[in-house]
Amino acid sequence: MAKITPKNLLKHNLNGKEEKKITLDNLAEMSSTDNVSDAMKNLYKTNGVVEGIKPISSSYKIVGRIRTAITDSGDWGTLIKAIYACNEDEILFVKCSDDTKAVWGEMASTAAKLHGLKGTIICGASRDTNEIIELDYPVFSKITRSNAGFALNEGAIGSDLFINDKIIKTGDVVFADCDGVVVIPQDKVDEVLAEVNNIKKFEDDCFAKIKKGQQLDEILNL
């Protein structure tokens, strides 16, 4: 048994269990996009959600720094170049002109996985769904479809993305899971993580009280 000292006493909760702080490294393991969206709502009155993008498999859950790319839906070649502009463990975040053609598939996923990317998020369309799932490379997109364009390489890599009311930059943090995609501006990461920790502690307290028989409306003072 580990010795409890004044230094580590604060790390233990009332049940004697050591509390593990949520950080960027364990965010996917210990939290969800729901918690992060709530944190941003509490702090900034914005939810951080990029609407309409979902994983091609509900099991996918990724957190990482973004590398941006923008392309016409008829040009998937830009994204092949973007793969090799990424650093290891980055997530390629793509804005397409529309979702009428797929810009990502099995071949791109294979190259991206071998290059060390954590995943690809596309505000547009992807294809080769079964093959990508078998490859176990996380892909998130607005829609899947069969048709694609050409390898033109006429887009841009690293530019700011303007999606609805959001500006998404290379270096921002994205958290994506089965519920959706949430982007944290890079200068807000520490504040958001602190609030996620507060939210998780509040939720844990609520669950403990519910299991002891207290009604949820009483807990929430409704």
Per-residue pLDDT reduced to its tens digit, 57-115: 999 999 999 999 999 999 999 999 999 999 999 999 999 999 999 999 999 999 999 99
- CATH class, domain 45-188, is alpha beta
For the chain, percent of residues with pLDDT exceeding 70? 91
Closest CA to 198 of 7, 31, 3: 31
Q: Alpha-carbon distance 126 to 102, whole Å?
A: 5
CA separation for the pair 95, 77 (Å, rounded)? 14
Q: Residue 78 is inside which H or E element, if any?
A: helix 77-85
Sign of CA dihedral 90, 97, 178, 198: positive
Asked if 189 and 24 count as a contact pair (C-beta separation under 8 A), the reply is: yes
Predicted TM-score of the model (pTM): 0.89
pLDDT above 80: residue 17: no
pLDDT in tens, 136-180: 999 999 999 999 999 999 999 999 999 998 999 999 999 999 999
Cβ neighbourhood burial of 218 (10 Å; 0-12, 13-18, 19+): exposed
d(Cα 153, Cα 147) in Å, to the nearest integer? 18
